[in-house]
Structure 1
Amino acid sequence: MTETHSATTPAAPVFPPGRYGRRRERQRRRPWLVAGLALVTLLVGSLVAVRLYKNYGDPAYDAQVVTYTDIDDTGLTLVFRVTIPEGGQATCVLRARSRDGAVVGTQDVLVRDEPGDGTTQVTQRMTTSAKAMIGEVLRCVPAQ
C-alpha cells in the first residue's frame, strides 16, 4: 500500500531568505503581569462593590409603597412601610412623577421605629409642582 499525501504530517514551511521579512521569535510569557492585572481588577471590583453596598444595599432599611391616593394638581398622599432595626431611625427619600416621567416632587422624611415587629407604616402628604401620576420611595438610609 502506498502512502498518501494526506497521511503525512506537513513540515514547517520553508520561505526563501529575505523575501518575507524576518520571522518573529515567540515572546516569553509573563505570568507575574497576568497575576498583577488580575489582582488589581479584583481589588477595584471589591472597592466598587463595597461602595455600592454602602449606598444601596443595607437590607435592614427596606421600604415598600402600600398605596398613593388623593392625587391632585398640588400633591398626593403616599403610604409606605419601612423596616427599621429596633430603636433606629431612617431617612426616606420620596419622589413623585408625572405621566411623562418627569419628577414633579421630592421629599425627605424622617421615620422612627415604632414598638412592634420592626415595620413602621408612614402616611405622608407630598406637595408637587404639577399633577403626579405615581409616588415612590427611592431609598431609606440610617438617619444621621
Structure 2
Amino acid sequence: MTTSDTLDERYGRVRTPRQTWTRAIVIAVAAVIIGGFAWITVASTLDDVQAEGTAYTIDDSGVTVSFQISIPAGRSVACALEAQDEEHGVVGFRVVEIPAADQHTRAFRETIPTVAPATTGLVNSCWVT
C-alpha cells in the first residue's frame, strides 16, 4: 500500500466510480473542444490568399497595376483591383480572375479603366474561387 492509499484510508477519502466517470467525461469534452479549435484554425488558413501591390503606372485611359499573389497551388483566385483619385475615391474598378496553377507565388500586371483622373492603383482584396 502506498502512502497516498494509506492517507486516503486514514482520512476517509475514497474515489467513487461517479467521480472517475465525471473526470473522464470532462477530459474528453475538453479534448474535443481543443481539437475543434485546432481544426478551425488549420482549415481557415488552407485557403489563405495574400496579395501585394508592387507598382502602378498612370495614363489618360487608366491605371496599370502590378501585383504579386501567394495562393495555394492548384486553386483559382479572383482579385478586386481599384484605381483611386487624390481624395481616395474609387474612379476605376476591375475584378480579375486568375486560373489555377502549380506555382505558389505569381506576379501579374493588369490595366484598370478609369472614369476620372487617378492618382493610385491597388489590389483591394483577393479570394479563392
Residues 58/93 of structure 1: CA separation in 2 closer, same or farther (3 Å cut): farther
Partner of 2:94: 107
TM-aligned CA deviation for residue 58 of structure 1 = 7.5
Instruction: Please list every run of 5 or more consecutive structure 2 residues that lacks an aligned counterpart in the other structure.
Output: 1-39
Moved over 6 A (4+): none
- For the aligned residues, what is the CA RMSD? 2.1
Task: Output the CA distance in 2 between the equivalents of 1:130 and 1:72.
Answer: 11
TM-score, normalised by the number of residues in structure 1: 0.55
Q: Secondary structure of 1:107's match?
A: strand
Which one has the bigger helix percentage?
A: 2
**Counterpart residue type for residue 82 of structure 1:** I
Task: Output the CA distance in 1 between the equivalents of 2:101 and 2:88.
Answer: 34
Aligned-pair identity (%) = 30
Aligned partner (choices 51, 61, 74) of residue 49 of structure 2: 61
TM-aligned CA deviation for residue 137 of structure 1 = 0.7
TM-aligned CA deviation for residue 102 of structure 1 = 1.3
Q: Secondary structure of 1:126's match?
A: strand
Cα deviation, 1:66-118, whole Å, max 9, x if unaligned, reads 1001x1232011000011101111110111100122110110001134433x0
Instruction: Please list every run of 5 or more consecutive structure 1 residues that lacks an aligned counterpart in the other structure.
Output: 1-49
Partner of 1:75: 62
The structure with the largest alpha-carbon Rg is: 1
TM-score, normalised by the number of residues in structure 2: 0.61
